[in-house]
Structure 1
């Protein structure tokens, strides 16, 4: 067996042993997800991620649930003028256009955890269930990263 064959086999074995950082329903892919809170005693936190739709049809993220908080909502920031931004609940959810990626990011659309049941410490994992109009439910394990 050549060195190249051994190396390729080792890489394949390691890649199978590592958990994937992407969550995929076969139609919707969630990548680069992370959660954070302002501090150990914070009553609220947020999660951010990239949601890609690999289908020919638009879909919609309708809701998010998690046992980490009393309430979990989809939020966005709205410009109220004079440099004032206000967060608000987006009851209709977020459209994930066919063949596109929708960013949930700081200062924009995001998942909001209100009434945290525990502190979000660096390295913790938050389990959320995303519910899509067409793709259905997707459970995502989101790492807490306070450095982002």
Structure 2
């Protein structure tokens, strides 16, 4: 029956398209800081560590620092920097906090600065959201909801730019 094969193929295509939709990124403002694109990598069952990422922009005239935070899903939240040393990956705690200078945008991303969640209390599953309270030296505390993406994700998919419609589109 050809109709059912076409319908089956369409449903498979539609399901795949839905799974690859971009994450709707939230933007949170606290004092002079704008926090955007909070996301985490999923942690497989039994994992004790997970990594989380975001972008922080300082629109003010004075520096601020991300100094820590907490979350119910882990015993400890720590700001770390990953780097390659001697062919291996090294994780170093960022002592004193991560400075966000006036006018700067700091991106916490894989293979750089990130938030490490230690001693996970429950599994971080793809498609869920994890609330975390971040603490800044000047801006204070703010609770952010992090989108949990796949274990191998490199970040949220940016929405595709659309071409301007100048009325000259070919048909």
- TM class by shorter chain equals 0.7 to 0.9
Task: Rate the CA distance shift 1:121–1:128 in 2: closer, same or farther, 3 A.
Answer: same
Q: Deviations over 1:14-66 (max 9, x none)?
A: xxxxx971011141111111011342331110110101111011111111211
Unaligned runs of 5+ in 1: 1-18
Please report the TM-score for the alignment, with normalisation by the length of structure 1. Answer: 0.81
Q: Deviations over 1:105-140 (max 9, x none)?
A: 111110001110110101111111111111111110
Unaligned runs of 5+ in 2: 1-23, 154-171
**Helix, strand or coil: the match of 1:144?**
strand
Distance 2:74 2:146 in 1: 14
Please report the TM-score for the alignment, with normalisation by the length of structure 2. Answer: 0.70
Aligned-pair Cα RMSD in Å: 1.7
Correspondence for 1:42: 47
| Runs of 4+ off more than 6 Å | none
Q: How many residues align?
A: 129
Which structure shows the bigger proportion of residues in strand conformation? 1
**Structure showing greater Rg:** 2
Correspondence for 1:53: 58
